[in-house]
């Protein structure tokens, strides 16, 4: 989208161990993981020549709303010279939003800007719809990893698409390829709902690749949040409000009756929704010390008990050891498979 209006975009290298090391070194100790990774990303992007960083803002009460400010301060203290552009959501004042966007876009015409936003948003939507296909194919594919390879290629072609026709072509082709992957139709597949904090849901490196791992273990994973939801809800201020997120909120009653910032209420709502729709289990992931998700974590045992669905909460931090996570996921999947087979649920073992 930014390239569309004539800016040079430096995409930081994929999040890696080095990113997290850089981030944890400079971020406050008890800050949440996304902030640490963000700072690492910005430092790495600087090494690749970026001079301005673009951040979304917010009005609380989740800490994300202050990310931009704290990052600007931390980078400034490190002597890393950055121009901070923080876009606050339009509900704080439409004119401020317009001014900030203007500052980014410079001399590009408004039509061009709107077209750029629209194209970016459509790309997100296409990627999300492809991802849903990948999620359902992954546990059934005969050759492990085919879907992921195709998806990776599709991301690349979608990213390169510079207009609507190219985009539709790229997405359509990828979808067809995905649908033609040889699959084992008779396989008994578990359905697992993945809920939690958005960043850890969307960034595979931060979440230790939970989604893919579960897929390979034979589970059809459905996430509660996809990128396009967030873009439409937060950045575009709900002008294009779609049903998904709002609906989840309704399900959260009576377990959580008030919004608690971040995605706390969506996590609970989606959990209830998944439980009511025949899912076998729920995995709740969040960065350590995430405030809204801690509230959700406190409430999940009750949801699990009332709706008879196993829930596991996983907190993620800069710890890189993978095996602990693998063991927990395997145990959880085994438990679900066993429950499904025997129809018995050992209550004492389901709340982890």
Partner 1 sequence: MACKVGIPRALLYYRFSRLWPVFFEKIGCEVKVSDETNKATIDQGAASVVDEVCLPVKIFFGHLDWLSDCHVDYLFVPRIVSIEKKAYICPKVMGLPDMAATAKKDYPPFISPLINNIRGEKDEEYIRELSPYFSCGKKRLKQAWLEAKKEQARYDQKISKEFWIEEGLKDDDPELLNVLVLSHCYVAHDRYLNMNLLEKLKKAKCRVVLPENISDELLERAVKGLKKKPFWTYGKQLLGAAFWFSRMPGRKGAIILTTFGCGIDSFIGNMAERHFKKAGIPYLIITLDEHTGQAGLETRVEAFLDMLRWRRKHYENNFPTYGEYLDTIARDAGIHRAYSCCTSHDK
The distance of closest approach from Cβ of residue 71 to partner 1 in the complex, given in angstroms and rounded to an integer, is 11
The distance of closest approach from Cβ of residue 142 to partner 1 in the complex, given in angstroms and rounded to an integer, is 41
The distance of closest approach from Cβ of residue 166 to partner 1 in the complex, given in angstroms and rounded to an integer, is 39
Q: Of 158 and 260, which CB lies nearer to partner 1 in the complex structure?
A: 260
Q: Of 72 and 275, which CB lies nearer to partner 1 in the complex structure?
A: 72
Strand partners, 85: 54
Q: Of 65 and 215, which CB lies nearer to partner 1 in the complex structure?
A: 65
Q: In whole angstroms, what separates CA 174 from the centre of its chain? A: 21
Q: Of 189 and 294, which CB lies nearer to partner 1 in the complex structure?
A: 294
Cα end-to-end distance, the chain, whole Å: 42
Q: What are the residue ranges of helices labelled H in 138-256? A: 146-160, 164-179, 198-202, 210-216, 227-230, 243-251
The distance of closest approach from Cβ of residue 62 to partner 1 in the complex, given in angstroms and rounded to an integer, is 7
**Which residue do the tokens 């050992």 mark?**
346
Q: Of 40 and 57, which CB lies nearer to partner 1 in the complex structure?
A: 57
- Dihedral pair phi/psi, residue 168, rounded to 5°: -60, -40
- Distances, alpha carbon 262 to alpha carbons 36, 47, 77, 125, 189, in Å: 17, 31, 28, 21, 31
CB–CB of 27/39 below 8 Å? yes
Q: Of 194 and 299, which CB lies nearer to partner 1 in the complex structure?
A: 299
Residues that bind partner 1 (CB under 8 A): 28-32, 57, 59-63, 65-66, 68-70, 72-74, 77, 86, 88, 255-262, 264, 288-292, 294-295, 297-299, 301-302, 313, 315
**Alpha-carbon distance 76 to 183, whole Å?**
52
Task: Find, among 41, 30, 23, 25, the residue nearest to 294 by Cα.
Answer: 30
Q: Of 86 and 127, which CB lies nearer to partner 1 in the complex structure?
A: 86
The distance of closest approach from Cβ of residue 330 to partner 1 in the complex, given in angstroms and rounded to an integer, is 23
The distance of closest approach from Cβ of residue 188 to partner 1 in the complex, given in angstroms and rounded to an integer, is 33
Q: Of 155 and 352, which CB lies nearer to partner 1 in the complex structure?
A: 352
Could you tell me which residues come within 8 angstroms of residue 263 by beta carbon, excluding any fewer than 6 positions away?
Answer: 196, 197, 198, 224, 225, 292, 293
**Alpha-carbon distance 237 to 121, whole Å?**
13
The distance of closest approach from Cβ of residue 164 to partner 1 in the complex, given in angstroms and rounded to an integer, is 36
Structure token pair of residue 102:
């203007």
The distance of closest approach from Cβ of residue 102 to partner 1 in the complex, given in angstroms and rounded to an integer, is 18
Maximal C-alpha separation, the chain? 65
């Amino acid at each position: 989208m930014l390239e569309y209006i004539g800016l040079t975009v430096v995409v930081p290298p994929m999040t890696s161990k080095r990113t997290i090391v850089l981030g944890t070194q400079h971020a406050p100790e008890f800050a949440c993981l996304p902030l640490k990774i963000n700072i690492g990303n910005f430092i790495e992007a600087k090494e690749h020549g970026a001079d301005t960083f673009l951040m979304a803002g917010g009005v609380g009460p989740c800490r994300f709303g202050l990310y931009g400010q704290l990052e600007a301060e931390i980078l400034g203290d490190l002597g890393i010279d950055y121009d901070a552009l923080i876009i606050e959501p339009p509900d704080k004042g439409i004119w401020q939003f317009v001014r900030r966007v203007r500052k980014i876009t410079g001399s590009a015409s408004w039509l061009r800007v709107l077209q750029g936003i629209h194209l970016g948003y459509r790309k997100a939507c296409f990627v999300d719809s492809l991802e849903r296909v990948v999620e359902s194919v992954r546990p059934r594919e005969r050759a492990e990893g085919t879907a992921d390879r195709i998806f990776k290629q599709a991301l690349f072609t979608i990213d390169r698409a510079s207009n609507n026709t190219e985009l539709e072509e790229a997405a359509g082709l990828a979808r067809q390829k995905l649908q033609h992957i040889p699959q084992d139709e008779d396989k008994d597949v578990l359905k697992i709902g993945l809920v939690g904090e958005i960043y850890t849901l969307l960034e595979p490196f931060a979440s230790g690749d939970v989604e893919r791992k579960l897929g390979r273990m034979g589970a059809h994973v459905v996430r509660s949040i996809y990128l396009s939801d967030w873009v439409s809800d937060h950045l575009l201020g709900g002008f294009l409000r779609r049903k998904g997120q709002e609906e989840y909120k309704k399900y959260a009653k009576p377990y959580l009756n008030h919004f608690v910032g971040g995605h706390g209420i969506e996590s609970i709502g989606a959990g209830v929704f998944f439980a009511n729709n025949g899912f076998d289990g729920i995995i709740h992931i969040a960065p350590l010390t995430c405030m809204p998700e801690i509230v959700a974590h406190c409430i999940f045992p009750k949801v699990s008990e009332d709706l008879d669905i196993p829930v596991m909460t996983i907190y993620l931090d800069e710890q890189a050891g993978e095996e602990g996570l693998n063991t927990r996921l395997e145990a959880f999947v085994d438990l679900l498979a066993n429950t499904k087979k025997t129809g018995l649920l050992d209550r004492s073992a389901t709340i982890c």
